[in-house]
Structure 1
């Protein structure tokens, strides 16, 4: 199993203020997305920050997204260890297979695998 990227997810109810801050003040590119999530970055997938309202499907805000090459393996290890699964392993219509798990500190981790 390989980790492909790790990306923070900032919660926001004011996308215009977020665009201004991350694009105009911080200097990140992007600021486009969907009605519930914006993506900012530096030109590569590996450098990305998401700003989102409450997750549209899960109804829970994930603090961090970790993209892996085998989400089923990570899910099985989390379940076997008794970790709290906050959102079940799901094939999303936008091309992700993912689940949410709570880490020992209470953070919600969105573990994803993109369709390749």
Structure 2
């Protein structure tokens, strides 16, 4: 089984630019109302769909309202990714930090207001 999360948004071009240029995602498929992106390692995908498109049934027409969704991106070297994003002036919503349960992470937002938690998992403190 494979999961592909989808977000309904009017911001397809801004979203494509953010994910491809900021996070190095690739484009798997794109047309005038749908965008399918993949992570750099091709292991996960996320899709974006224009709201109110006539090809879609009502369940897939309402635009995301900017709240109640977050994404987590696990990386091998959190400090390297943090520095790279800081160097290109991506706004950091939560500064890099270590959590007692083992995460080392920071957070940014995409053009749709979705919080993106970028994390390296480590062993929890004893």
Kindly indicate whether structure 1 or structure 2 has the higher relative contact order, using CA contacts under 8 Å at least 6 residues apart: 1
Same fold (TM over 0.5): no
TM-score relative to the length of structure 1: 0.45
TM-score relative to the length of structure 2: 0.41
Instruction: Name the one with the larger strand percent.
Output: 1
Bigger Rg over Cα: 2
